Amino acid sequence: MLVTEFHHLVRLAGEMLPPNVALLWRKPGLFETIGTTLAMTFLGTVTGCLLAFVLALVAARNTTLHPALRSATRLLFGLERATPNFVVLLVLFISFGYGPFAAMIALAIGSIGMFGKLFADAIEEVEAGPCEAVELVGAGRWQVIRYAVMPQVLPVVVGRSFYAFDVNLRAAIALGVYGGGGVGFELQLAMKVLRYADAFALILLIILLITGMERVSDAVRRRLLPQGVLK
């Protein structure tokens, strides 16, 4: 099938080349568009990972308030993981209208399932020694979490959160296509009005954005983590 239809691909490639790179400096508001994508990724990751961490405390065996709550939260994580991001987005459009705000909340919710589970697993793998030591000198539940659990899991949580940012950036572009705004939406628009040279320029921009941000988040994480700044 690919063989018989191949000339369509060639024709499309012909229409896309050369990429309209001039778009990058000619198009008004393009930098705001890039900013929007980055902003919804950042906010979605921050709020999502905070929510995920709070829920993970409930979902981890050693810090949970009640075993029943633990299973309920674990189930919630499982359900959330199984729900595609864009289903959440479609419902959020009803609440908040089209645009980056709904996409940002969808990203935040989308981070809960996967990263809540990862955080909870990290909390469960905490060494028991420090927890018992803190408890023995009279610490309450919150003090144990603050002085024994947090110092142990924070590096893991922060490391995973940087990974969440990378995952969410890709998701943000996909959600943009569905109407979440940002670069994804611009790309979809360019494809719909058959401006393929513009679309190609935007695709190059997306590739640059994703590889670039991966480098940046790697560099920041490396600076942040080994120094123990977070303890």
Partner 1 sequence: MSAALSIPTATARADRARRAWRIVLAATLMGALVVGSAILCRVDVVGFLPGLFQGLSVLRFFFPPDVGSLAEMVGPALVTLLLAAVATPFGVALSILFGLAGAANLSPAWLRAPARGVIAVERALPEIVVLLLLVAALGVGPFPGVVTLAIGSVGMLGRLFADAIEEIDARVIESVACVGASRWQVVRYAVLPEVMPSFLANAIFRFEINLRASVLLGAVGAGGIGLELQKAMALLEYERAMMAVLVTLALVFGAERISDFLRRRVLEKGGLR
Q: Does 121 bind partner 1 (CB under 8 A)?
A: no
For residue 54 the two structure tokens come to 């709070």
Q: Count Cβ neighbours within 10 Å for each residue of 22-43 and write b for 16 or more, e otherwise.
A: ebbeeeeebeebbebbbbbbbb
Q: What is the dihedral of CA 166, 167, 172, 173, to 10 degrees?
A: 80
Of residues 82 and 137, the one with the C-beta less far from partner 1: 82
What is the contact mask toward partner 1 in residues 155 to 194, using x (rule: CB under 8 A)? ---------------x--xx--xx-----x--xx--x---
The Cα–Cα gap between 30 and 172 comes to: 16
Which residue type sits at 170?
R
For residue 63 the two structure tokens come to 């810090």
Of residues 66 and 154, the one with the C-beta less far from partner 1: 154
Q: Does 90 bind partner 1 (CB under 8 A)?
A: yes
CA 206 vs. chain centroid, Å, equals 16
Q: Does 69 bind partner 1 (CB under 8 A)?
A: no
Number of residues located near partner 1, criterion CB under 8 A: 53
By CB under 8 A, name the binding residues for partner 1.
1-2, 5, 8-9, 11-12, 32, 35-36, 38-40, 42-43, 46, 78-79, 81-87, 90-92, 94-96, 99-101, 104, 170, 173-174, 177-178, 184, 187-188, 191, 196, 199, 203, 206-207, 210-211, 214, 229
